[in-house]
Amino acid sequence: MQAFAFNTTKSLLFRPGAASELGAVAGALLGPRVLAVTDKGLRRLGLPDTAFAALQAAGAAVEVFDAVEADPSRATLEAAVAAGRALGATGVLGFGGGSSMDVAKLAALLLGSGEDLDAAWGVGNAQGPRLPLVLIPTTAGTGSEVTPVSIITVGEEEKRGVSSTVILPDLAVLDPDLTLGLPPAITAATGVDAMVHAIEAYASASPNNNPLSRMLAREALRLLGANIEQAVFEGGDRDARGAMLLGSMLAGQAFANSPVAAVHALAYPVGGIFHVPHGLSNALVLPHVLRFNAPSAGAVYAEIAADAFPDLAAVEGSQARCAAFIEALADLSKRLGMQTRLREVGIPEDALPRMAADAMKQTRLLVNNPREVTEADALAIYRAAW
């Protein structure tokens, strides 16, 4: 029998309109002084207003920190912590995409424990305790609301992560209504990101790859594959939006316990150096990494091909079905209107060797890949994607 551990967020609430009930749902948990972490774009849209108002109506003072940027920096995290200290925060609310939720996780940790961030980097090094933490995603992609990971950009380009069950939130509130206004390009990129999470979790070489993660990954792919185009092209479809949000969360639970691998490792330099959004970075390298992995993981990819694309059930033979799966993923990005080549997002060919060298620093991810990746392999994959 396989031994494994499975950890996830303590409580989940999935309901349209749930953000407007936040005072009743989470007011007692977060306490009288709440640090709310979000970004300026969402503030301008007024998307968090009902959630913040609900907390205030329940008697909480809400200090809004809205300076989170894509690929948030250490300086941003430190500014959020400073705002929380000035408030004397009793709880932290993360509202937004993966960046806001990542900052909220580590702000809750640092405010609750006062520990040294440099000692917390890596797997299992965060000690805690943290402040009470609630996360509300507004995109269907990262699954950060159910993962024990936070990624921060250190210096100009390097991404570092804290991975610890200590930073799993107390409550994740999934409100499909918050995603109804998401633009098509962001819907597409975040949706493909969630699919990558499910695919890499299912095929992960991690010794903790387990039956629960595999089950969740397959259900995530069924939901995401069936609804991503509807969500992109008919963004007001609440059912499609809800299915995407649920699929993203399930994929998050899967890869939180059966970690992602080379797709993410090679996507990080794309985002870190050239500031390409994370979901699009993953999509750009996805088919090329899967083709590289196919000699080792082809049968595994064949098992999940029809979950995402039901028509592939008719393709006979693992090798043929794996190849069809990879082509279907590449074609999906085209149909969704996404860029499909590194050159299309402004990456020059002479940058590829540097990116390959940077990708090799992602050892915590590469160790989970079903096929060993050398620097020469990474360069060849980037060249294929260019």
- At 78-96, the pLDDT tens digits run 999 999 999 999 999 999 9
- Beta strands at 91-96 and 149-154: parallel, antiparallel or unpaired: unpaired
Torsion sign (Cα): 220, 221, 227, 231? positive
For residue 70, the model assigns a pLDDT of: 87
- The secondary structure element, H or E, covering residue 231 is helix 211-233
* Confidence band of 204 (pLDDT split at 50, 70, 90): very high
Please tell me the distance from the alpha carbon of residue 369 to that of residue 383, in angstroms, as a whole number: 19
> Do 115 and 107 form a contact (C-beta atoms < 8 A)?
no
* Confidence band of 274 (pLDDT split at 50, 70, 90): very high
Q: Which CATH architecture has domain 11-178?
A: 3-Layer(aba) Sandwich (3.40)
Please tell me the distance from the alpha carbon of residue 288 to that of residue 185, in angstroms, as a whole number: 21
* Confidence band of 166 (pLDDT split at 50, 70, 90): very high
End-to-end CA distance of the chain: 43
Question: 180-385, what's its fold?
Answer: Dehydroquinate synthase-like, alpha domain (1.20.1090)
For residue 71, the model assigns a pLDDT of: 85
For residue 4, the model assigns a pLDDT of: 96
For residue 123, the model assigns a pLDDT of: 87
Please tell me the distance from the alpha carbon of residue 173 to that of residue 15, in angstroms, as a whole number: 8
Q: Is the pLDDT of residue 312 over 90?
A: yes
Q: What single DSSP character describes residue 302?
A: H
What are the start-end ranges of the E strands in the chain? Answer: 11-14, 33-37, 61-65, 91-96, 122-123, 133-137, 149-154, 158-163, 171-174
Radius of gyration for the alpha carbons in the chain, expressed in angstroms and rounded: 20
Alpha helix stretches (DSSP H) within 2-116:
22-30, 40-45, 49-57, 74-87, 98-113
Q: Is the pLDDT of residue 272 over 90?
A: no
As a whole number, mean pLDDT of residues 350-373 equals: 96
* Confidence band of 237 (pLDDT split at 50, 70, 90): very high
Q: For residue 348, give both structure tokens.
A: 């020059």
Domain ranges of the chain: 11-178, 180-385
Burial class (CB in 10 A: 0-12, 13-18, 19+), 150: buried
Distance of CA 173 to the CA centre of its chain: 16
The edge-to-edge listing of strands for the beta sheet with 171-174 is: 11-14, 171-174, 133-137, 91-96, 33-37, 61-65
Q: What single DSSP character describes residue 178?
A: G
- The secondary structure element, H or E, covering residue 33 is strand 33-37
Q: Is the pLDDT of residue 16 over 90?
A: yes
For residue 181, the model assigns a pLDDT of: 86
Please tell me the distance from the alpha carbon of residue 377 to that of residue 386, in angstroms, as a whole number: 14
Question: pTM of the entire structure?
Answer: 0.95
* Confidence band of 163 (pLDDT split at 50, 70, 90): very high
For residue 36, the model assigns a pLDDT of: 98
Please tell me the distance from the alpha carbon of residue 78 to that of residue 103, in angstroms, as a whole number: 9
What pairs with residue 134 in β-bridges?
93, 171
